[in-house]
Amino acid sequence: MNSLALFQAALQSSSRPAIIDRQGAYSYNELLQQAAEVRQTLLNDKSDLREARVAFLIEPGFEYAAVQWGIWQAGGIATPLGLKHPTPELEHVLQDADVSTIVVQPSLKERVASIALKHRCRLLDTQEIAAQATKQPATTQLTTNITPDRRAMILYTSGSTGRPKGVVTTHANILAQIDALVDAWNWHFDDHILHVLPMHHIHGIINVLGCAMRVGGVCEFLPSFNAQDVWSRFARGGLSLFMAVPTIYAKLIAAWEQASPATQKEWSAGAQKLRLMVSGSAALPIPTLETWESITGQRLLERYGMTEIGMALSNPLDGVRRAGHVGKPLPQVKVQRTNEAGEVVDDKTPGEIEVQGPNVFQAYWGQSEVTTASFRNGWFRTGDVAVVDQGDYRILGRNSVDIIKTGGYKISALEIEDVLRTHPQIQDCAVVGIPDEEWGERVAVNVVCPDGKTLTLEPLRAWCKERLAAYKAPSLLKVSEQLPRNAMGKVQKPQIRALFSPSPPPN
Ligand code: AMP
């Protein structure tokens, strides 16, 4: 296997369109050309970046892909930054990954200029790269000697403790994650996918952009998610694939329900023409699956995966896609379920999903003990519990109470609590996830205020958004005199969840 296998289809498809974004359409040749320029500027007379971390803050689209490829071709580790992340979160990544260079679009330079200076990162904007680089043949990068076992990417993901952890994948891991999906979902060079997902998360990076580029297909980006724009794009035709999180499907359904009958007809007819629509990153509520099928004729394919492993389980491309189930292991991915003692359990017994295979990440960046603890007997422990029902996996939830899934994002309650505790009107707090049909879960907080003070939701949300990504800001608040704790002083989260649950109907 060649570490640059991802670029092979690009070379063979050179004149074909690769990416469409709001600036226009770009061929594979242009993508390779621009990646070669990024590589040349990053290398700056060196022959290999030797796994230096290169962070990048770039809107989804052609420049994003060119910078990602340029970093890989220069031998760096690509570390995407979240566009909506506030400064403290960006800074955490720069510091934790010891980033040497940040590549940024000119319009976003202001967002990182001061932290780049503080952390002594070289700051390069994409316009400077274009101006500085000498035009090179698109094939130059194939002369690199990067081997598949070299580290390629760090994605930051929330764990059950503290700040987000950096998940490190090698070129071989990335290729294995992509190839499992290319194989299972029959990706082909004439595929054309619509991309509406963030580009600092595995879903958008691997499942959508990565797969499309691997087969020489077309990846079309919408600048940001907007339900009307997505429906209009379906109606214009020419797409074959769409992938999104359950929250996006819920928003599309809500927009469709508000449209006129003529518009509904046009939108539905457009969506019907795609060959495959996929949902994942959080549990797909059965009513969403059913409503989507009734308005588009598309039975969503639900799959299960994680930043650390790529995708592991998938419903079939051809065959029955059972509601509430995430299907079977993907090609080359080994999956088992175990009890606390690490013994494999029978189908009906809930067990923790463990995964093995070339798709499994290498390590958490700079956290060897956490990495070791996340494996047992060579299997990665996902923390998700499932049963198997006639061969298909059904996810029951996480075995940790402190991970919240909201709108397709996975966030740590503890991380939010740490930030909230710095609020002058918060003495103590506990964050929990509350089940919600639209978001999967909503972030709820129970706070204790110091004497005579109180808090209301909207000002608290505004305060949070200056310090945390917006989706981490609590959308439910309860003020109490004290938090329920057990004899060991541990907060009792089930009791806190109950505070937010609707009261039972009167008899
Ligand atoms: P992330 O690393 O952000 O992609 O989050 C991975 C987590 O999302 C998994 O550990 C699961 O808890 C959850 N997840 C992903 N796909 C599904 C699914 N189809 N059903 C239920 N949970 C899912």
pLDDT 10s digit of each residue in the chain, 507 long? 344 688 888 888 889 999 999 999 999 999 999 999 999 999 988 999 999 999 999 999 999 999 999 999 999 999 999 998 899 999 999 999 999 999 999 999 999 999 999 999 999 999 999 888 776 665 555 546 788 999 999 999 875 556 889 999 999 999 999 999 999 999 999 999 999 999 999 999 999 999 999 999 999 999 778 999 999 999 999 999 999 998 899 899 999 999 999 999 999 999 999 999 999 988 888 889 999 999 999 999 999 999 999 999 999 999 999 999 999 999 999 999 999 899 999 999 989 999 999 999 999 999 999 999 999 999 999 998 889 999 999 987 777 677 788 988 878 787 898 889 899 999 889 999 999 988 999 999 999 998 888 999 999 999 999 999 999 999 999 999 998 876 545 578 888 999 997 655 444
pLDDT digit string, tens, across residues 254-280:
999 999 999 999 999 999 999 999 999
Q: Which residues form the pocket of ligand 1, taking CB atoms under 6 Å from any ligand atom?
A: 157, 202, 280-283, 302, 304-307, 326, 382, 384, 395, 398, 405, 410
pLDDT of residue 1: 36
pTM exceeds cut of 0.75: yes
From 208, 281, 471, the mutation candidate for ligand 1 (largest count of ligand atoms within 8 A of CB) is 281
Per-residue pLDDT tens digits for 274-300: 999 999 988 888 889 999 999 999 999
Atom of ligand 1 nearest to the CA of 403: 12
Residue in 398, 401, 405 to alter for ligand 1 test, most ligand atoms within 8 A of Cβ? 405
In 349-497 the beta strands, taken as DSSP E runs, fall at 351-356, 363-364, 375-376, 379-389, 392-398, 403-406, 409-412, 428-436, 440-448, 476-480
pLDDT score, position 399? 72
pLDDT confidence of residue 282 = 81
Q: Cα(303) to centroid of ligand 1, in Å?
A: 9
Query: Is the Cβ–Cβ distance between 59 and 82 less than 8 Å?
Result: no
| Residue 105 CB neighbours (<10 A) | 19
pLDDT computed for residue 137 by the predictor: 62
CA dihedral 405, 406, 412, 417 (to 10 degrees): -140
Q: Which atom, in ligand 1's list, is nearest to the CA of 383?
A: 10
Residues 6+ apart with CB under 8 A from 370: 159, 165, 364
- Ligand 1 mean position, distance from CA 80 (Å): 20
Which domains, from first to last, does the chain contain? 4-174 (3.40.50.12780), 301-398 (2.30.38.10), 403-499 (3.30.300.30)
Write down the pLDDT at residue 109: 96
Distance 306 CA to ligand 1 centre (A): 6
CA of 398 to the centre of ligand 1 (A): 9
**How far apart are the CA of 397 and the centre of ligand 1, in A?**
9
Max CA separation in the chain (angstroms) = 77
Determine the pLDDT at residue 403.
Answer: 78
Among all chains, which residue has been given the structure tokens 């806190």? Answer: 496
Q: What is the pLDDT of residue 352?
A: 94
Instruction: State the number of CA atoms in the 13 A half-sphere of 290 facing the CB.
Output: 5
Smallest CA separation from ligand 1 atom 10, residue: 306
Exposure string of 362-391, with b = 16+ CB inside 10 Å and e = fewer, is: bbbbebeeebeebeeeebbbbbbbbbbeee
Distance from the CA of 239 to the center of ligand 1, in angstroms? 26
State the distance from the centre of ligand 1 to the C-alpha of 281, rounded, in angstroms. 4
Q: How far apart are CA 406 and CA 393, in angstroms?
A: 22
Q: Which two tokens stand for residue 1?
A: 């296997």
Q: What is the pLDDT of residue 507?
A: 44
**The pLDDT value given to residue 316:** 98
Pocket test for ligand 1, best of 304, 321, 328 (most atoms within 8 A of CB): 304
